[in-house]
């Protein structure tokens, strides 16, 4: 079923409601009781805010083109996705869920002033070694044509899905030095306000990203960078420099606490004629030599 939304959901209101709910104990999380809503939410007539797009491009150090960056389309679609996660019948707690993975196909260039439709739903509830994971699937259309699709995988820690579900297929805990490149190609100095600045352009004021006090509310010692901030910078850094026609995935291994300095290696595959074929990206904590995220980008055939 598709449920048509009449107005864009407000993220802060959704988070506030979720925060209030999470403070109240007693919501049953027994094994076997987890069932995903099958409704998909749809919102038509979505447009980007030009000033926010410009800010986003500054933040990601990407060129100011007349088309929406891949990471920004996630921002455009995100409130609709969160509205599904905030449904009373969604079985996992919205706040404190950890972003594990993202997969995006950016099919067509989307002009900054395009009127877009966003459809979001959840699927594929499955166990993870430390809880339960779920996919949020989002499609963005322009004039009825799909332009961008995204699949975000989130983890709810400590909540076990029913034992009738298939056994965990998640990879083992990444170890130190595992597959880290010998040399970095760059360093990102992420200041303490990185989360607040991304929140200001994305509207995603999830408390775990904002500051020490708000992160502590959710059991984190320090705030962490938005996964989509890291992913969007990765795409700006290693992407094709074109407005569409590529696919990218990112796997978040360990959170990036703020502030911090992380190293990154971006190996860009270009032919002799300078045509971009794709890129492999790894970012890591230089002191612990532990990967923060691993990404891959490739041209769509």
Residues that bind other proteins (CB under 8 A): 182-189, 193, 238, 263, 265-268, 279, 286-287
Q: Given the complex with other proteins, which of 119 and 282 has the nearer CB atom?
A: 282
Give the pairing of strands 260-270 and 186-190.
antiparallel
- Encoding tokens for residue 230? 């890291």
Residue 260 CB, nearest approach to other proteins (Å)? 13
Distance CA 190, CA 187 (A): 9
Q: Given the complex with other proteins, which of 30 and 51 has the nearer CB atom?
A: 51
Is the backbone peptide bond immediately before 259 cis, with ω within 30 degrees of 0? yes
DSSP H/E element including 76:
helix 70-85
Q: Given the complex with other proteins, which of 2 and 272 has the nearer CB atom?
A: 272
Q: Given the complex with other proteins, which of 78 and 248 has the nearer CB atom?
A: 248
Distances (CA, A) of 116 to 108, 202, 279: 13, 17, 29
Phi/psi of residue 119, each to 5°?
Answer: -120, 130
Q: Given the complex with other proteins, which of 110 and 238 has the nearer CB atom?
A: 238
Distances (CA, A) of 181 to 138, 146, 289, 298: 33, 36, 10, 20
Residue 289 CB, nearest approach to other proteins (Å)? 8
Residue 109, judged by CB atoms within 10 A of its CB (0-12, 13-18, 19+), counts as middle
DSSP H/E element including 230:
helix 227-238
Q: Given the complex with other proteins, which of 123 and 242 has the nearer CB atom?
A: 242
Q: Given the complex with other proteins, which of 146 and 211 has the nearer CB atom?
A: 211
Give bridge partners of residue 133 from the DSSP assignment.
Answer: 126, 155
Buried (b) or exposed (e) across 61-91, using 16+ Cβ within 10 A?
A: ebeeeebbbbbbbbbbbbbbbbbbbbeeebb
Give bridge partners of residue 50 from the DSSP assignment.
Answer: none
- Encoding tokens for residue 181? 């490149």
Length of the chain counted residue by residue: 301
Residue 240 CB, nearest approach to other proteins (Å)? 13
Q: Given the complex with other proteins, which of 50 and 186 has the nearer CB atom?
A: 186
Find the angle CA(192)-CA(198)-CA(199) to the nearest 5 degrees.
Answer: 100
């Amino acid at each position: 079923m598709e449920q048509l939304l009449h107005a864009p959901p407000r993220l802060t209101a959704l988070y506030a409601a979720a925060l209030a709910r999470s403070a109240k104990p007693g919501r049953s999380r027994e094994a076997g009781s987890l069932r995903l809503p099958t409704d998909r939410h749809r919102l038509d007539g979505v447009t980007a805010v030009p000033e926010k797009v410009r800010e986003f491009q500054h933040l990601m150090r990407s060129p100011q083109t007349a088309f929406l960056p891949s990471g920004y389309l996630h921002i455009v679609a995100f409130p609709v996705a969160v509205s599904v996660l905030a449904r009373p019948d969604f079985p996992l707690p919205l706040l404190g869920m950890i972003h594990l993975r993202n997969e995006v196909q950016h099919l067509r260039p989307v002009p900054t002033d395009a009127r877009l439709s966003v459809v979001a739903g959840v699927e594929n509830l499955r166990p993870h070694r430390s809880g339960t994971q779920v996919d949020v699937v989002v499609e963005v259309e322009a004039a009825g044509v799909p332009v961008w699709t995204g699949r975000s995988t989130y983890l709810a820690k400590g909540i076990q899905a029913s034992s009738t579900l298939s056994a965990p297929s998640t990879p083992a805990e990444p170890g130190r030095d595992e597959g880290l490149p010998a040399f970095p190609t760059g360093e990102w100095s992420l200041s303490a306000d990185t989360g607040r600045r991304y929140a200001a352009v994305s509207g995603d004021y999830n408390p775990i990203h904002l500051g020490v006090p708000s992160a502590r509310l959710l059991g984190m010692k320090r705030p962490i960078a938005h996964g989509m901030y890291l992913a969007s910078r990765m795409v700006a850094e290693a992407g094709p420099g074109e407005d569409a026609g590529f696919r990218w995935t990112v796997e978040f291994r360990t959170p990036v606490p703020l502030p911090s300095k992380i190293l990154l290696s971006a190996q860009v595959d270009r032919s002799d004629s300078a045509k971009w074929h794709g890129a492999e990206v790894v970012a890591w904590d230089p002191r612990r030599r532990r990967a923060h995220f691993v990404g891959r980008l490739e041209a769509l055939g």
